[in-house]
Every structure is written in structure tokens, then in C-alpha cells.
């Protein structure tokens, strides 16, 4: 049954939550008194549709239904999850939670996006409200800090994992949770550096993104410093750099006075740095970069990429494609696959077909364990036919027809189907010949009896679909 999320406050963060739930198949009802809320959420949703599905090599569930502009009591009626994202003022949050608790089902998770308040401040009685603090853009970044009573945070964390997020459940509540405490220390130092004319906003951003920012995205702080300690490890690192903490390198907790002059200086430097692009263009740039980074990390099964990989493993592939053959791969063409004219670059047709081939290997039983046992299929030859243009954001489905699978050869014909609103159309075909190899001798060999039987059964099954008109491979011997 479709689950329902109620989003109370549909600004930057509420809009991001709405997109995260909708694109994971939930129905979403938004309550926000702002008459512009629908338009603003529409803009966030447009960005999210462009980015989130492009992280996955499986289709996300069909989008849920969005309703905007409901009174709060109607929005939360029948909800499984209620997410409060109104401005960061405690009195406003108290009023909203009173209304939510009066109208929401007993079984619903009730969560706050608050960046700073603790559950003990949000709950005037009991422990019903938990903190679920996300990061912008909520539809792309996996982290959610979860704080509250254990009996409430455990089921909340389960739901968040189902949305492809990483719930970081804190042992104890503390002002501003974990991540914003770290960010505030960096932010305070950055403000001092601008105020004292040490560095401009652009130079500080370079200091982050050209160096430690790259390290942080994949290993964080402690693992990075462990490596910095060399073979002697963490204790050595602490002994070496620990004393520096006593030196007055940082401003500690001193906060620069954000007076008119400092605000004007930062704003002017920021305009010079980023003013050529409007905020929507900056969001697109941010999202496209994040998708490229996250996809790369997914390949490595590392950091946030591992979270996406684990979520992806729970998503089913569609059973059959437009031609009645099994779907072996499906994805939304990511921005990083673009060529100079906004099409999918030609090399990625082969990548999509290659992924379909990988999946087919698993179906045949020639999987990782089979390879570890010393046998594998190697690709000997591929032919790509580009039939119609594929744009970034298009949904691609790859079906695979096994044309021949006797003995040492496996002859496959992949069809890449594009969906962009119209009926699926054939965008490309990739014909591939694979040879079975003994990994010890590196010579062509016969597959195991099990794999051979599976290949033959697949070929026989696929004969129900007409053979492709143009087949280039398989006529030659050897």
C-alpha cells in the first residue's frame, strides 16, 4: 500500500523532503500558508527529478501523488510520517507540534528538521517528537541526524533507510546535533579570515574544494588523519599534531561581529565569485556535480556511494521490456554522461550494454563466485548501432536477447529502449560476442555444465522473439 508523508512547511527543506518521499513512491501532502508554496515545491521537484533517479542503475518506484495547500489537520490525516520544516523558532515549532499531535495517527512518526533544537525542547510533554535533521539538497544527500527516545528513533531510522538515506542516530541529544557543530567551527573561522583580509570568499572555497573537501567526501576526518599518521597510525598522528592544538591557530569560540561592513564585504565578494549565475543555475551545477561524485563513490562502494548501492539492491528491475525480453539494466541518463551537445555520449551506450551483460552473467550463474573459482566470460567483440538520439534525463531500459550460447561462445544482442514521455523507442543496439575463458590458462574453454545448460535454456527461451534483422557476428569460426 502506498504510504503517506505530511510535510509541514514547504520551504527549502520541506520541499526537499517532499521530493525525497515522492520520488520513492510515497504520497505527499504539504501544509504551508505561503500562497507561493506550490510553485516553490515545483521548482525543487524539477531539480530532484533531474538528479535523484540518475544516482541509480535501477528505476525508483513510480512517483507518489503530491497535494499542496491543505490545512495542517487534513495534511497529517492518515500520514505514516509527519515532517515539520517551519522556520527555526521554538514558539512556532511548539504551535505546529500541538496541531500535529492533535490530528496525526498514533502510529505516525513525527519528526522535526530543526538544525539546532533538542527533542527535550521540542516536546513539551512526552517524547513523541524526534529530530530528523537533513542536509540540503534533502533529495540527494543521504545524511539525516536522528535524535530522540530509542523506541521512536529505531522505526524512524528504518523508514529513512528505505528512502535511501543514512540515519545517524545520536546517543544523546546536544544543541545543533553533530554536523552543524562541525560546520559552525569552520564557518566561524571563514568569517574571521574574510574580516581580517586574509582570504576572499572565493579563496576560502578553493581552500576547501581543492583539498580537504575532496578527502572529507570519501573518508571523513578521522580516517583521513589516520592515514596522515603514516604506518605509525593514529596515536602517532595525535602525538605529532596534538601540541599544535594548544597554539592559537584558530579563533576558538570568538565570533566576529557581523556588522554592516562585514556583511557588505562578504556579499560583495560572493557576488564577484558567484553572481554570474542565478540561484537555480547554481543549484543545477551543485546537483550535477553531486550526482557525478555519488555515482563515482557508488562504483567504489564507498562512503555515501555505499548507502546508494545498498538502497539500489532493494529496488526491483522491471520484469520485461517493450520487446518481451527480460530487462537487464535500467537507468536515468545522468548529467555526467553528456557530450558537448547535451546528448548521451557514445561510449556510454556500451557502458549501459556492458552493465546488462554483467547482470546476465549473474542470471546464468557466471557470477562473482564463478569468477573466483577460476572461470569467466571475456568480451571479444561489440558492435554499437546508434539509432536515435538520447538526451540527459532520458530513462533507458536495456533488454538482452541471447542468440547463441553453445560451447565456448555466448552471442548477445542488447536493445537500449529510451523513454522520454512517448512510447519507448529503440535508441541503440549493441551486439556482443563473449568467449568463455579458463582464468588459470587464460585460454578459451568450456563453461561449467550448469552455466552451459543455463545459457542453452536462455537461448531457447529467447527464440520466441524474432532474431534481429542485422546480425554481424557469429558466422566466423574460432
Ligand X SMILES: NC(=O)c1ccc[n+]([C@@H]2O[C@H](COP(=O)([O-])OP(=O)(O)OC[C@H]3O[C@@H](n4cnc5c(N)ncnc54)[C@H](O)[C@@H]3O)[C@@H](O)[C@H]2O)c1
Query: Which residues here bind ligand X, judged by CB under 6 A?
Result: 8-14, 31-34, 37, 85-88, 92, 96, 113-115, 133-134, 136
Residue whose C-alpha is closest to residue 335's, from 260, 392, 381:
392
C-alpha to C-alpha distance for 318 and 453, rounded to whole angstroms: 25
**Distance, C-alpha 435 to centroid of its chain:** 35
Residue whose C-alpha is closest to residue 396's, from 438, 356, 456:
356
C-alpha to C-alpha distance for 127 and 125, rounded to whole angstroms: 7
DSSP helix/strand/coil, 61: coil
CB of 176 to ligand X, least distance (A): 10
String of b and e for 10-34 (b: at least 16 CB within 10 Å)? bbebbbbbbbbbbbbebbbbbbbee
Output the CA angle 30-35-37, nearest 5 degrees. 40
Q: Which is nearer to ligand X, 58 or 118 (CB)?
A: 118
CB of 260 to ligand X, least distance (A): 23
Q: Which is nearer to ligand X, 84 or 288 (CB)?
A: 84
Residue recorded with cell 542453452: 456
Segments in 196-278 forming alpha helices (H): 201-207, 213-219, 222-228, 233-241, 260-274
CB of 208 to ligand X, least distance (A): 17
Nearest residue (beta carbon) to ligand X: 11
* Residue 368 CB neighbours (<10 A): 10
Q: Which is nearer to ligand X, 18 or 430 (CB)?
A: 18
Output the CA angle 210-269-193, nearest 5 degrees. 65
C-alpha to C-alpha distance for 191 and 463, rounded to whole angstroms: 68
Q: Which is nearer to ligand X, 120 or 320 (CB)?
A: 120
CB of 5 to ligand X, least distance (A): 15
CB of 91 to ligand X, least distance (A): 11
CB of 277 to ligand X, least distance (A): 19
For strand 327-332 and strand 166-169, is the pairing parallel, antiparallel, or unpaired?
A: unpaired
Q: Which is nearer to ligand X, 72 or 303 (CB)?
A: 72
* Residue 84 CB neighbours (<10 A): 27
Contact call for residues 393 and 50 (beta carbons, < 8 A): yes
Q: Which is nearer to ligand X, 10 or 59 (CB)?
A: 10
CB of 432 to ligand X, least distance (A): 46
CB of 30 to ligand X, least distance (A): 9
Q: Which is nearer to ligand X, 115 or 153 (CB)?
A: 115
Q: Which is nearer to ligand X, 201 or 382 (CB)?
A: 201
Contact call for residues 443 and 419 (beta carbons, < 8 A): no
Q: Which is nearer to ligand X, 96 or 455 (CB)?
A: 96
CB of 50 to ligand X, least distance (A): 20
Residue recorded with cell 518506484: 61
Amino acid at each position: 500500500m502506498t504510504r503517506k508523508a505530511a510535510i509541514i512547511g514547504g520551504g527549502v527543506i520541506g520541499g526537499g523532503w517532499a521530493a525525497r518521499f515522492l520520488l520513492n513512491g510515497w504520497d505527499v501532502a504539504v501544509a504551508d500558508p505561503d500562497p507561493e508554496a506550490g510553485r516553490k515545491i515545483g521548482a525543487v521537484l524539477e531539480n530532484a527529478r533531474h538528479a535523484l533517479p540518475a544516482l541509480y542503475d535501477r528505476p525508483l518506484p513510480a512517483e507518489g501523488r503530491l497535494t499542496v495547500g491543505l490545512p495542517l489537520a487534513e495534511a497529517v490525516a492518515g500520514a505514516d510520517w509527519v515532517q515539520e520544516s517551519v522556520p527555526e523558532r521554538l514558539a512556532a515549532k511548539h504551535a505546529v507540534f500541538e496541531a500535529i499531535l492533535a490530528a496525526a495517527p498514533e502510529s505516525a512518526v513525527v519528526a522535526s528538521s530543526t538544525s539546532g533544537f533538542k527533542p527535550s525542547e521540542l516536546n513539551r510533554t512526552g517524547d513523541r517528537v524526534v529530530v530528523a535533521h537533513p542536509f540540503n539538497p534533502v533529495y540527494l544527500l543521504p545524511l539525516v541526524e536522528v535524535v530522540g527516545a530509542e523506541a521512536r528513533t529505531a522505526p524512524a531510522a528504518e523508514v529513512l533507510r528505505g528512502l535511501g538515506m543514512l540515519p545517524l542516530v545520536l546517543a544523546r541529544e546536544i544543541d545543533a546535533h553533530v554536523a552543524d557543530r562541525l560546520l559552525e567551527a569552520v564557518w566561524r573561522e571563514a568569517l574571521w579570515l574574510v574580516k581580517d583580509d586574509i582570504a576572499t570568499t572565493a579563496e576560502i572555497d578553493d581552500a576547501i574544494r581543492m583539498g580537504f573537501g575532496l578527502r572529507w567526501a570519501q573518508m571523513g576526518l578521522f580516517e583521513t588523519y589516520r592515514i596522515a599518521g603514516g604506518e605509525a597510525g593514529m596515536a602517532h598522528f595525535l602525538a605529532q599534531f596534538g601540541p599544535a592544538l594548544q597554539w592559537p591557530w584558530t579563533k576558538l569560540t570568538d565570533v566576529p561581529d557581523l556588522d554592516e561592513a562585514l556583511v557588505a564585504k562578504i556579499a560583495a565578494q560572493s557576488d564577484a565569485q558567484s553572481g554570474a549565475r542565478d540561484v537555480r543555475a547554481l543549484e543545477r551545477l551543485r546537483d550535477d556535480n553531486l550526482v557525478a561524485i555519488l555515482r563515482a563513490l557508488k562504483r567504489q562502494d564507498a562512503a555515501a556511494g555505499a548507502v546508494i548501492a545498498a538502497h539500489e539492491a532493494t529496488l526491483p528491475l522491471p520484469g520485461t521490456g517493450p520487446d518481451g525480453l527480460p530487462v537487464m539494466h535500467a537507468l536515468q541518463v545522468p548529467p555526467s554522461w553528456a557530450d558537448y551537445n547535451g546528448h548521451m555520449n557514445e561510449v556510454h551506450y556500451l557502458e549501459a550494454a556492458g552493465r546488462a551483460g554483467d547482470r546476465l552473467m549473474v542470471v546464468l550463474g557466471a557470477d562473482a563466485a564463478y569468477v573466483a573459482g577460476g572461470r569467466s566470460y571475456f568480451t571479444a567483440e561489440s558492435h554499437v548501432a546508434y539509432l536515435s538520439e538520447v538526451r540527459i534525463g532520458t530513462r533507458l531500459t536495456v533488454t538482452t536477447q541471447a542468440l547463441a550460447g553453445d560451447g565456448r561462445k555466448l552471442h548477445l544482442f542488447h536493445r537500449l529502449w529510451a523513454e522520454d514521455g512517448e512510447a519507448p523507442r529503440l535508441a541503440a543496439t549493441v551486439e556482443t560476442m563473449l568467449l568463455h575463458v579458463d582464468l588459470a590458462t587464460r585460454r578459451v574453454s568450456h563453461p561449467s555444465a550448469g552455466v552451459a545448460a543455463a545459457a542453452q535454456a536462455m537461448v531457447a527461451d529467447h527464440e520466441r522473439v524474432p532474431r534481429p534483422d542485422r546480425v554481424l557476428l557469429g558466422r566466423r569460426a574460432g
